[in-house]
Amino acid sequence: MAAADPKRAIEAVWRIESARLIAGLARLVRDVGIAEELAQEALVAALEQWPESGVPDNPGAWLMATGKHRAVDRLRRADVHERKTHELGRELELTGQVENRDLEAEIDDPFDDDLLRLVFTTCHPVLSTDARVALTLRLLGGLTTREIARAYLVSESTVAQRVVRAKRTLTAAQVPFEVPEHDELGERVASVLEVIYLIFNEGYAATAGDDWIRPELIEEALRLGRVLAELLPSEAEVHGLVALMELQASRTRARTGPRGERILLLDQDRSRWDWLLVGRGLVALERAKRSGGALGPYTLQAAIAACHARARVAADTDWEGIVALYDALAQIMPSPVVELNRAVAIGMAFGPEAGLDLVDSIRSEPALSGYHLLAVVRGDLLEKLGRKDEARTEFQRAASLTQNSGERAALLERMAACSPRNGA
Amino acid sequence: MRVMVLIKANEQSEAGEMPSEKLLTEMTAFNEELVKAGMMLAGEGLHPSSKGARVVFSGSDRKVIDGPFSETKELLAGYWVWQVKDMDEAIEWVKRIPDADPGQEAVVEIRPVFEAEDFGEELTPELREREQRMREQIEANQ
């Protein structure tokens, strides 16, 4: 076979190096937008030179050095410009600033801190959720505008606009390129975790399109989570989120039936779970627990997922353990959806009657109106209690509420199974 | 996608020689890079083939052959499982693996792991269903 195409090799280098490159340059120029431009300039230089000269031994260092030369050029030009346009006092102040900044020394700082600064910047609360997601995928994930557009089923220009606006917002709000102070850290970490979990969920249960699983977003979110776990090893919830994502992702293959319908956890063929990811998830959960303190919402959800993962067959599930974890989760993250899940666990641990009591107490919650899983859960509990007529009504209701055609077919089958002819 | 990166054996690995301290240090640093990049899923080194065995299938016969095995270059000394975006990215990472013995030619093989999508049209819904039924039967028989 012929040697690999140099352009493809350069693109692969770019994917591996771009986040660290942009992060390192952003510390220098204090602006992620300009940093990305400089990084792109370095990439263009590589595309011009490497096909002739060959890929250098340390391509990352080459790109960084090239980007930094351009950055220094820009800073000097800006400095000259400032001198011409500002009055004397301001001019002296600026000159002092640039001269006092030892550019070479700054260049040698370790990369990891820069990457962490970049993470906190692309996930800054000043940005809208969409903007945070787009900027994170682009600057940290190294995804192109086209790839992001394809994953989210929006046009490339929409994504491009989001990215441009996000960069402008960061500049206008003068968001500093730094790791937040201790008192602010918890809140800012939560913002980062939210973005990563949003990306994961868009992959795991896509809100648009025919395929309701997007493997590339699942993989990207997992990768970002794992990177963050190494950057912030003492943050328990980072490991909690990684554990939750690894455990959920482990079930991807078993979640879809032959007609594209969703297969619920207890009906899944567990031999199809990805046991490599299960193992990784359990390890990450242990790391989260070892980090100390009360368990946060991601860690609790991961612990629940782990109860399922540890059961080789569904009948072995530790439902009482799961109920206890949902009790804890409902304390710190009260929501009707958590209550609904708690009801399922209670139904499994203490019988369908107990589960139904809880479901009926939350039935009128406005947040659950039109939520097809409420009808599915209620139908399931009623069916177990032998109240087939009521169960049938719930399955019918659920079928009319779901957006997924495969799932609708499966629900209509359950409905038919509850009809009197099928020997109630 | 996932790839399996296969490290081939050499005379030293087959002789059960442990890597030098220098190589171990470099390998540890490289593994740290992989972990930090969020793409390392698994990886292990393998004992020499003298500790292994082969089972030869021939008709209804199953013959067990104990190691060591002679064709050193075909043997494995270790593997990684990586999550990468494509083969190009895998190749780029493989180029960065520390060289165990710079004087000697060595080969590292990269093989993509099958994913459900790879079967594409070949694995029709009907086939999937059959596969599923088969699995269910196997489970039921256990």
Total of domains in chain A: 3
pLDDT value of residue A55: 87
Residues in chain B closer than 8 A to A226 (CB atoms)? 35, 38-39
> A169 and A201: one domain?
no
Cα angle at A21 between A20 and A27, to 5 degrees?
Answer: 90
- Closest-CA residue of B relative to A112 is B36
| A290 and A251 belong to one structural domain | yes
Kindly list the residues from chain B whose CB atom is less than 8 angstroms away from the CB atom of residue A215: 115, 117
Do A129 and A198 have their domain in common? no
Same domain, A200 and A222: yes
Q: Which residue has the higher pLDDT, A355 or A30?
A: A355
For residue A252, the distance in angstroms to the closest alpha carbon of chain B comes to 10
Cα gap B35→A112, rounded to integer Å? 13
In a domain, A23, yes or no: yes
Do A309 and A215 lie in a common domain? Answer: yes
The closest CB to that of A259, out of B91, B116, B125, belongs to: B125
| pLDDT of A329 above 70 | yes
Structural domain includes residue A69: yes
**Same structural domain, A142 and A198:** no
The reply to whether A147 and A197 lie within a common domain is: no
Which three-class secondary structure state does DSSP give residue B123? Answer: coil
Clarify whether residues A195 and A269 are in a common domain: yes
Q: Each residue of A407-417: pLDDT tens digit?
A: 788 889 999 99
Residue-level pLDDT at A92:
39
Taking only residues 4 to 23 of chain A, the set having a beta carbon closer than 8 angstroms to any beta carbon of chain B reads 4, 8-9, 11-13, 15-16
* A299 domain residue, yes or no: yes
Complex-level ipTM beyond the 0.95 threshold: no
From B38's Cα to the closest Cα of chain A, the distance in A is: 5
Please answer yes or no on whether A269 and B135 come within 8 Å at the CB atom.
Answer: yes
Quote the pLDDT of residue A23: 95
Higher pLDDT among residues A122 and A154, named by residue: A122
Would the pLDDT of A332 be above 90? yes
Contacts with B89 from chain A: Cβ below 8 Å: 12, 15-16
Element (H, E) at B131: helix B125-141
Mean pLDDT of chain A: 87
Among A108-117, A271-280, B60-69, which is the least confidently predicted range? Answer: A108-117
Contact B132 A257 (CB under 8 A): yes
What tens-digit pLDDT sequence spans chain B (142 residues)?
999 999 999 888 899 988 889 999 999 999 999 999 999 999 999 999 999 999 999 999 999 999 899 887 789 999 999 999 999 999 999 999 998 888 888 889 999 998 766 655 555 555 656 665 555 555 555 4
Residue A355 predicted with pLDDT over 90: yes
Average pLDDT of the residues in A81-99: 46
The whole-angstrom separation of Cα A347 and Cα A340 is 11
Does residue A373 fall inside a structural domain? no
Domain boundary among A106, A136, A169: A106
- A-chain residue closest to B86, CA distance: A12
E strand or H helix that includes residue B136: helix B125-141
DSSP state of B49: G
Q: How far is A11 from chain B (nearest CA, A)?
A: 8
Look up the pTM and report it.
0.85
Q: How close A74 comes to chain B (CA, Å)?
A: 30
- A266 contacts chain B (CB < 8 A): no
Chain B interface test: which of A55, A232, A269, A287 (most B C-beta within 10 Å): A269
pLDDT band at A419; cut points 50, 70, 90: confident
Report the run of H or E that residue B3 belongs to, with start and end: strand B2-8
Give the domain CATH number at A64.
Answer: 1.10.1740
Supply the CATH classification number for the domain B2-141: 3.30.70.1060
A286 touches B: beta carbon within 8 Å: no
Q: According to the model, what pLDDT value does residue A109 have? A: 45
Residues of chain B numbered 72-131 and touching chain A (CB < 8 Å): 81, 83, 85-86, 88-89, 91-93, 115-117, 125-126, 128-129
pLDDT of residue B130: 62
CB atoms within 10 A of CB B133: 11
In this structure, the answer to whether residues A70 and A143 fall within a common structural domain is no
Same domain, A193 and A290: yes
- Out of A8, A224, A253, closest to residue B88 by CB: A8
- Confidence label for A90 from pLDDT (cuts 50, 70 and 90): very low
Asked, for residue A157, whether it belongs to a domain, the answer is yes
Q: Please give the pLDDT value at position A67.
A: 95
Cβ <8 Å between A269 and B136 = yes
A150 within some domain: yes
- Please, which pLDDT band fits residue A134 given cuts at 50, 70 and 90? very high
Do A195 and A310 belong together in one domain? Answer: yes
Mean pLDDT of A328-355: 95
Encode chain A in three state secondary structure.
CCCCCHHHHHHHHHHHHHHHHHHHHHHHHCCHHHHHHHHHHHHHHHHHHHHHHCCCCCHHHHHHHHHHHHHHHHHHHHHHHHHHHCCHHHHHHHHHHHHHCCHHHHHCCCHHHHHHHHHHHHCCCCCCHHHHHHHHHHHHCCCCHHHHHHHHCCCHHHHHHHHHHHHHHHHHCCCCCCCCCHHHHHHHHHHHHHHHHHHHHHHHCCCCCCCCCCHHHHHHHHHHHHHHHHHCCCCHHHHHHHHHHHHHHCCHHHCECCCCCECCHHHCCHHHCCHHHHHHHHHHHHHHHHCCCCCCHHHHHHHHHHHHHHCCCHHHCCHHHHHHHHHHHHHHCCCHHHHHHHHHHHHHHHCHHHHHHHHHHHCCCHHHCCCHHHHHHHHHHHHHCCCHHHHHHHHHHHHHHCCCHHHHHHHHHHHHHCCHHHCC
Please indicate whether, in this complex, the C-beta atoms of B37 and A272 are within 8 angstroms of each other.
no
Q: Tell whether A162 is covered by a domain.
A: yes
Q: Do B129 and A258 touch (CB under 8 A)?
A: yes
Residue A104 has pLDDT above 50, yes or no: no
CB contact under 8 A, B36 and A259: no
Residue A260's domain spans which residues?
Answer: 188-315
Residues 6+ apart with CB under 8 A from B25: none
Q: At A134, which CATH number?
A: 1.10.10.10
Distance from CA of A277 to the nearest CA of B (A): 8
In a domain, A89, yes or no: yes
Reduce the DSSP state of residue B25 to 3 states and report it: helix
The last residue of one of the domains, among A299, A315, A331, is A315
pLDDT tens, residue by residue, A33-77: 999 999 999 999 999 999 999 889 899 999 999 999 999 888 888
Q: Does residue A73 share a domain with residue A99?
A: yes
- With a cut of 50, say whether residue A98 has pLDDT above it: no
First-last CA distance in chain A: 66
Highest mean pLDDT of the ranges A104-108, A260-264, A293-297: A293-297
Assign A107 a pLDDT band (cuts: 50, 70, 90): very low
Q: Residues with Cβ < 8 Å from A246, sequence gap 6 or more?
A: A222, A277, A278, A280, A281, A284
